Amino acid sequence: MTERILRGIAGAFIVISLILAIKVNIQWLWFTGFVGLNLFQSSFTNWCPIMSILKKCGCN
Percent of the chain whose pLDDT exceeds 90: 63
Above 80 in pLDDT, residue 38?
A: yes
Read off the pLDDT of residues 3-23 as tens digits, 9 standing for 90 and up.
899 899 999 999 999 999 999
Domain boundaries in the chain? 2-56
pTM of the model: 0.80
Three-state secondary-structure class, residue 47: coil
Task: Count the Cβ atoms, other than its own, within 10 Å of residue 17.
Answer: 20
Read off the pLDDT of residues 44-56 as tens digits, 9 standing for 90 and up.
998 888 888 888 8
